[in-house]
Amino acid sequence: MGLRLFVAIELPEVVLDALRGIQDQLKGRAGAELVRWVEPEGIHLTLKFLGDTREDLLPQLEAGIGEACSGVRPIALRLGRAGAFPSPRRPRVIWVGLEPVEGDDSLSRLQERIEAFSERLGFRREERPFTPHLTLGRLREERAAGAASQAARLLVEPPEVPPLSFTAQGVSLMRSTLRPAGAVYTRVLRVPLAGPD
């Protein structure tokens, strides 16, 4: 059994506090009991989920992340609207989107570089388009009759999302350890975004 890994951007405390506030708004609505809410401390922007990974690949992953981050300046991002996958009317995952400030496409380019080196190492390419989002919660009882339609009431009126911006300063390789109370995330390594030398 290897390490359960993913590549992500960790969030500053001010953003985690804002996400906690959005969750609190939603928790007061009908349908909130159907959602397993993510602890705000565990929320991050996933760039690539690697899954079960052999430990001997760690040096190659570190090199790949370093190469992907090479020449990339810190990325200015802002919180966007709240939404759900696959749709607000049939929510399985409730999220807050992230948007680049001033239309900068650095985040998409960085994610594609991470996807490319991961594929070279034998990880399967993600087929869905990259949609930068921060997961607030997941539907608990997807198969229960009417659960999705009940949970859809959560987003009939969008929660208030503060106009908050922050700068992503680095990319982290994270380990996810599954526990009965939920996943615990630990940083394995971090590569700073420093821009051109």
Which amino acid makes up residue 59?
Answer: P
Catalytic residue (one of 18, 133, 147, 155):
133
Catalytic residue (one of 5, 7, 9, 44):
44
Active site residue 38: no
Residues, the chain: 197
Both tokens of 186, joined, read 């630990």
Distance CA 183, CA 197 (A): 37
**What is the maximal distance between C-alpha atoms in the chain?**
56
Active site residue 156: no
Which amino acid makes up residue 82?
Answer: A
Q: Cα dihedral angle (126, 72, 172, 61), rounded to 10 degrees?
A: 60
Q: What are phi and psi of 190, to 5 degrees?
A: -140, 135
Cite the active site residues: 44, 133
